[in-house]
Amino acid sequence: MDLIIKKILLFFQMFFMKKESGGAVSKKVTSTSSKSKVSVKKENSKSQTIKNLEPKKEVNLNKKEPSKTTNMDTISLKVLRKGSDGPQVEQWQLFLVGQGLLKVADGDFGQTTKDATIEFQKRNGLTADGVVGNSCYGKAMTLGFEVVQDTALEKTSAYWPPKPDFDAVYNDEKRFEMFGKFEYTADEQGTVTVIGTWKDENIITIDVPQLKGIDMFGKPKASGSIYFHKKAAPQMQALWAEWEKAGLLYLVKTWNGTYSPRCIRGSQTKLSNHAFGTAFDINVKWNGLAKRPALVGEEGSVRELVEIANKLGFYWGGHFSRKDGMHFEIAKLL
């Protein structure tokens, strides 16, 4: 009996000791957790204090950051004189070709280019030294020599109308494929002589009634009868009919021709689309070669004619890298 009572007392003693021990551990953990929170808080406070003590980065108020909305190219025109060469010389020569003062643009500023420059300077009251400098460029710019590209899309801008979704035909191989191949010779002036029967087989006379009575720029009025390539003739007739339907014929001031076997102006080797009977010129006086074509609202402007021309497969010369605003040519056969 006494043994049983002793065992029961021993059991309860051990139970309470275990309970007290568990409570102490729990209390200890709670205490450690509190200390940990206090420690973290102190560390954060210390970190913030250190951060506040760090030297601030200096801001240079005089430094100008590059604008993210500005995209301007630096314009730099070189003084050109005898002995100069390169693309800028060729651009100047093309301008002189458009002025009727030069025949060939080859990128080399030789004596012929110097003589043409002197003649340009004499005509415009400039010092006739054959050197293309500020005053020479300045006068040329007033006559349409472009050195600044206007990319605005407003109807009155030099960039309007935008280019079509097709390109011009720039190589003879493609033209031969489209309109037939022919052999030819070309003289120093770029005049072409077609060899063989290609002309008789492909160039035909067509009637464009909308042309009748239009000024031919110092020549008798246009009769409406013109030469054109037989494959492109329907597009040519449709174009003028559409211009008439749209009430735009009043924009055509002068008719300046179509089929003309020659090289492109300024070249002795590259054939012009005129040599294929697939191009024509209008309003030459206001849209000279290598000049900014007349803007909408200016006398002689052809810009409002371009959209219809594009729809009928014609490409406008005002969209060439060397401007030729008088010029329209077949780029697609419909």
pLDDT interval class at 14 (50, 70, 90) = low
Element (H, E) at 186: strand 183-186
pLDDT interval class at 77 (50, 70, 90) = confident
| pLDDT score of 75 | 54
Separation CA 109–CA 81 (nearest Å): 7
pLDDT, tens only, 149-173: 666 668 888 889 999 999 999 889 9
Across the chain, what does the average pLDDT equal?
81
Q: Where are the domains of the chain?
A: 87-142, 172-330
Share of the chain above pLDDT 90, in %: 54
26 pLDDT higher than 70: no
- Kindly report the CATH class assigned to 172-330: alpha beta
Sequence-ordered list of residues with C-beta below 8 angstroms from that of 162, at least 6 positions apart, any chain: 153
Cα 147 → chain centroid = 14
- Flag the least confident range among 41-50, 241-250, 311-320, 323-332: 41-50
Give the residue with greater pLDDT, 37 vs 166.
166
Separation CA 151–CA 68 (nearest Å): 18
pTM of this prediction exceeds 0.85: no
217 pLDDT higher than 80: no
Give the residue with greater pLDDT, 223 vs 69.
223
Separation CA 233–CA 238 (nearest Å): 9
pLDDT interval class at 283 (50, 70, 90) = very high
Share of the chain above pLDDT 70, in %: 75
CATH assignment of 87-142, given 3.30.465.10, 1.10.101.10, 3.20.20.10, 3.30.70.1280?
Answer: 1.10.101.10
Q: Name the most confidently modeled range: 119-123, 155-159, 234-238, 264-268.
A: 234-238
Element (H, E) at 3: helix 2-53
| pLDDT score of 52 | 46
Structure tokens that stand for 108 in this block: 């080399």
